[in-house]
A and B are shown apart, each in its own frame.
Chain A
Amino acid sequence: DSGVTQTPKHLITATGQRVTLRCSPRSGDLSVYWYQQSLDQGLQFLIQYYNGEERAKGNILERFSAQQFPDLHSELNLSSLELGDSALYFCASSPRGLDEQFFGPGTRLTVL
């Protein structure tokens, strides 16, 4: 158990819909990262937040957005969903000043 929690574990929805994935980092960790893992694309970095502010952006689509709240939990919003958005979405957190990231169990999103 990494100490990072993600909800929900599974999510099934239809194309065109919008969903929100939630992540609670390890206690004390200020950085939160979001990753997408699909069979054909592998593990891709989406976005990073540090203490409430966006720190780095990766291959995140414009239909996706994220934020980190004052209590440090983070949400990833996916809108206008397409079949290709079906994937495992991981959240990771890290303590300030250290590079090791602790990954959550992931949310499996299925778009039908």
Chain B
Amino acid sequence: LAKTTQPISMDSYEGQEVNITCSHNNIATNDYITWYQQFPSQGPRFIIQGYKTKVTNEVASLFIPADRKSSTLSLPRVSLSDTAVYYCLVGPNSGYSTLTFGKGTMLLVSP
């Protein structure tokens, strides 16, 4: 599985847009990029997944450049409840793939 690198922590304020970038230089052709969110003492929750270009859903956008060696999770107008750890994962979308979680990015949103 491709190794990922993301910032350990980020700070933001309510109402701002937050962009968390993940590096995955060794991404394979059949790998997808997936982001999960985890609140303290809760299980991770799927946010978004993409393969290339841009993917948007009701909570976030995922930007993937043409070389796919990095990706950026964009959270529009964050609120205090977005304070959590965000994990970037890269791997095949086979349905049988395992997830390798790194340390994640601890996002702290302040008033």
Contacts and interface: CB of A to CB of B under 8 A. Distances in A.
Interface stretch (B14-22, B72-80, B90-98): B90-98
10 contacts: A43-B44, A44-B101, A45-B100, A55-B96, A88-B41, A99-B94, A100-B49, A105-B43, A106-B41, A106-B43
Nearest to B102: A42
Contacts of B99: 33, 45, 101
A103 B38 CA distance: 10
Interface in A16-42: 31, 33, 35, 42
A99 B43 contact: no
Contacts of B13: none
Interface residues of A, number: 31
Nearest 7 CB-CB pairings of A with B: A103-B43, A43-B101, A97-B95, A99-B93, A100-B46, A90-B43, A56-B98
A97 B95 CA distance: 4
A45 B98 contact: yes
Contacts of B49: 99-100
Nearest to A45: B98
B44 A99 contact: no
Q: Which of B34, B38, B95, B104 has the most CB of A within 10 A?
A: B95
Given A48-B96, A99-B49, A42 B43 contact: no
